[in-house]
Structure 1
Amino acid sequence: MFGQSQAFSGFSVDDLDEARRFYADTLGLQVTEEGQGDMRMLILRLATGAQVFVYPKDNHTAATFTILNFPVDDIDAAVAELDRRGVTLERYSGFDHDDKGIVRGEGDGPAAIAWFTDPAGNVLSVLQEN
């Protein structure tokens, strides 16, 4: 039924202007703003052609799970660039992080993953696949 649908995902933030600066300036994504007043929203346009809808919510609660994953060819370079841009990596109990904050995987999962948050506290990741 929905196999041909151009589905998209979305998430909330508590400050749309701060989110626009983070996703456009810090992460370098293509970000457009639509609407006006209380109906403002951001559209993140990803390299795959996918779009992600970001909307303000007064009683925003940050997602406690990863809402966006960014696959990269070289996680060490990506983490170094995030650090250079002022992004702090998250460290979660139960994972063996290296000194850079990267979890090096084994088995079927990603070869390596590192988590960080947007200004609204939503969890994002950069990952290098096997």
Structure 2
Amino acid sequence: MNADDSGALARGRVATRLPAQDLERARRFYAEKLGLEPVDERPGGLLYRCGGVDFAVFQSTGASPGTFTQMGWEVEDIEAAVAELSGRGVVFEEVDAPGFRTKGGIADIEGNYPSKGARGERAVWFRDSEGNLMGIGQPVF
């Protein structure tokens, strides 16, 4: 079976949506801390594009519990990304969980998805202004 035969969702594009209780506060965070500007907006929503993929931040009365990674980026140099974002005031989480622990904010994680051809991943986590937990990862080959 090829991808064209596997259904509407397999042919669709994934689009992440992140809640914001204060959309203007979120806009400032994404601009000042992450260096991102919306590529489009509508009442109650901001659309961002990274690496050709879109994600939206939308006005919501609900809030994320911040107990799991809601969105992540994959980068080529995690140490450079951490240095850049730290310089902008992003605070990285310290994690002590079964299977991995951060050292200096970065966790070395054994294993990766076989289709990616990596043997592991280096990762960090931070929260946006709305409490959404974000991750950054670098495959280890």
| Identity within the alignment, % | 34
Report the CA distance between 1:119 and its aligned residue. 0.5
Greater strand proportion: 2
Alignment partner of 2:76: what SS? coil
Matches within 5 A, 1:5-84: 5-36=12-43, 40-47=44-51, 49-84=52-87
Report the AA paired with residue 19 of structure 1: A
Report the CA distance between 1:126 and its aligned residue. 1.3
In 2 relative to 1, CA 61–111 (structure 1 residues): closer, same or farther, beyond 3 Å? Answer: closer
Contact 1:24 1:30 in 2 (8 A): yes
Unaligned 5+ runs, structure 1: none
Provide the rounded CA distance (Å) in 1 between the counterparts of 2:16 and 2:91: 25
1:125 maps onto 2:135 in alignment: yes
Unaligned 5+ runs, structure 2: 1-6, 114-119
Report the CA distance between 1:30 and its aligned residue. 3.8
What TM-score does the superposition give when structure 1 sets the normalisation length? 0.83
Count of paired positions: 125
Structure 1 ranges of 4+ moved more than 4 A: none
What TM-score does the superposition give when structure 2 sets the normalisation length? 0.77
In 2 relative to 1, CA 126–7 (structure 1 residues): closer, same or farther, beyond 3 Å? Answer: closer
